[in-house]
Structure 1
């Protein structure tokens, strides 16, 4: 099993799947993500995502009326140290450009555009479709796990 290396002082963008794996204790990825959360808790790194992550993580818990899971996601994502970037017109324009020039879906384009807008040092995901985007320092969790 590989190890997730996150330099102190990094601005780390997390894709929705990172929050899901962590909050829902995904057996395959939970341990791999522990260094991320330890560095976040000790304020060695900044964690950033789009406000879109809130909607994406809450869909199934809301559908299943799972108030414990809803609260867990909101506690994590709405905590003061977590930085959720608003989706503004400049991000939407950049996302449109990414969609026009790459084969990515709208939510992914919004995440990528948001990460680029804050000049993140790492973009952690498990979606290999992000790998082909220029100026996005992507870390694919399944590849780290396999290394």
Structure 2
């Protein structure tokens, strides 16, 4: 299923990472297959350090050490997931993305990061954001893989 995306980097939005870690979504099998493809070097994925700030507060507030440990492993330096910093260049590019697409600043940072990383695809379950993405970056949804 993921083989067709080999050598075509995919950006993972925050909600996808939550689905992958939380293991309770309707897409658990799809997430398992995606993570296996990442581990097998079939799939190259990218996200932003901004994602860390979006996904980790909940397990911290719920005092859920198991979930927190999974997130920490996901974002560790040894992880096959490329986690890019929110640089000044990304922030400036996000201003243009926000102005062009009319999306929220946080979403614009994600899109700008995906573009800077040379991603071909943007995997998100945020339909509003997905419909806004245009140009060389193509929107993917989990339902396409179920």
TM-score of the pair, normalised by structure 2: 0.87
Q: Provide the aligned C-alpha RMSD in A.
A: 1.9
Task: Please identify runs of 4+ aligned residues in structure 1 that moved more than 3 A.
Answer: 3-6
Residue ranges of structure 2 left out of the alignment (5+ in a row)? none
**Within 5 A, what are the aligned runs for 1:1-147?**
6-80=4-78, 81-128=80-127, 129-134=129-134, 135-142=136-143, 144=144
Cα distance in 2, alignment partners of residues 141 and 104 from structure 1: 21
TM-score of the pair, normalised by structure 1: 0.87
Between Structure 1 and Structure 2, the one with more helix by share is: 2
Secondary structure at the counterpart of residue 5 of structure 2? coil
- Residue-pair matches, total: 143
Cα distance in 1, alignment partners of residues 46 and 4 from structure 2: 14
Residue ranges of structure 1 left out of the alignment (5+ in a row)? none
Cα distance in 1, alignment partners of residues 48 and 99 from structure 2: 20
